[in-house]
Amino acid sequence: ALAYAKEYGYDIVEVNASDWRNEEKMKAVVGESSHYASLEGSSKKMILVDEVDGVAGREDAGGLSALRKIINETRVPIVMVANNPWDQRLAPIREQSLMIEFKRLNKTTIIKRLKEICEKEKISVSETVLSKLAERSEGDLRSAIMDLQAVAAGKPVVTEKDLEVLGVRNRVREIFEALRYIFYAKSVRSARAALEGLDLDPETIYTWILDNAPTQITEPDELAEAMNILAKADMVLVRINKLQMWRLMKYAIPLMTGGVSVVRKTPPKGFQKFTFPPKIRLMQQFKTEREFRQNISLKIASKLHLSAYKANKDVLPYVGFIIAREDKSRHSLSQYFEFTNEEIEYLKRAYGEVKEGREAVEEKKEKPVQQKKKKTSKK
């Protein structure tokens, strides 16, 4: 709707239906806009009613009724957006409207668009990586672009290994999409609703919001106020974890979401990317390494009839050094413990670095130290 309005010269009035639920408010906001011309002097005006399916329950029946009357009497086009247009309560509105369904794109179309973005941003990405990103998006171009943004942040080249940070896609609202809802929300209620269905713990969500606030809130006064609110949210989260007072979560969530969205009054100039927090990236890397180490220890423990603790502490370092060496022992040892290729690569990487470091130290010890000759000045 926004693209159409811009292309054809409409002045758009945007309203979130979930924030105007009763008949009186709906008439005051949407009803007035549907009868009068734009203040900017344009004769063409369009009303965008977002989240129309967010009007729910008996107390909101007046809002839906008012919206139906406004549609009948309006002099300007009204565009309504719904996540679930087949909600039974929206049946009367569906009969008055032309439904336009946004279908999922095919893989080829998504790859083509991702290529264009990579060429424009001067990022080198292989065809295999683009294909995997397209598959993961399940026909959602926005999800594919967000994934590309996550793996390509600050990198001139993107490899298949970089895709590991994405984890397994769950078709709930993703964190990038949730951030967009939070920072661009026009009410506390809308910002808080962005977390619905997001499969992340509050501390992780807080880290995402904290790291992206400086790029999304560019005015110094607004940013200072947002950081102050986030500091208060952090204090509540610390108290929750320390005292196990989970009832305080009802204060932490509105502070970190609605508090940030309310203070952001000035939009940033141009498009501002959301960035992947370095802290979370590092935690994911350590988590992967811990999982490798744990699986290897369990295999060693099973073969040698030890506890996983003793296998990890007493045996794994020696096995790691042998695997890291370029000789026949690696193959026989790997077969005996039934290590996978990924586990072998992990051991080579982890213990190969230690081996190289030790060899460098030994080489330094063997190398004779040459004493500098003292210069004598002739008088």
Q: Which amino acid is at 376?
A: T
Q: What is the pTM of this model?
A: 0.42
Compute the residue count for the chain: 379
Distance CA 182, CA 257 (A): 6
pLDDT in tens, 219-237: 899 999 999 999 999 999 9
Tokens for 373, please give them: 């000759």
pLDDT in tens, 231-276: 999 999 999 888 888 888 889 999 999 889 888 888 776 667 777 7
Q: End-to-end alpha-carbon separation of the chain, Å?
A: 92
**Span 346-361, average pLDDT:** 64
SS3 198: coil
CATH of domain 107-166: 1.10.8.60
pLDDT in tens, 37-92: 544 455 578 888 887 876 654 445 567 787 888 888 887 888 888 877 777 788 88
Q: Give exposure, 126-145, as e/b (b: 16+ Cβ within 10 Å).
A: eeebbeebbebbeebeebbb
Q: Nearest Cα to 21, choosing from 66, 73, 80, 84?
A: 66
C-alpha dihedral sign at 229, 231, 233, 239: negative
pLDDT tier at 339, thresholds 50, 70, 90: confident
pLDDT of 173 higher than 50: no
pLDDT of 352 higher than 80: no
- At residue 55, the pLDDT reads 64
Query: What are the structural domain ranges in the chain?
Result: 2-95, 107-166, 175-276, 280-363
pLDDT in tens, 279-334: 777 776 676 777 788 888 999 998 898 888 888 888 988 888 888 876 677 888 88
User: Do 75 and 37 contact (CB within 8 A), yes or no?
Assistant: no
Contacts of 140 (CB under 8 A, 6+ apart): 104, 105
Tokens for 324, please give them: 């890291």
Distance CA 95, CA 83 (A): 17
Q: Which fold has domain 2-95?
A: Rossmann fold (3.40.50)
Contacts of 62 (CB under 8 A, 6+ apart): 21, 22, 23, 24, 26
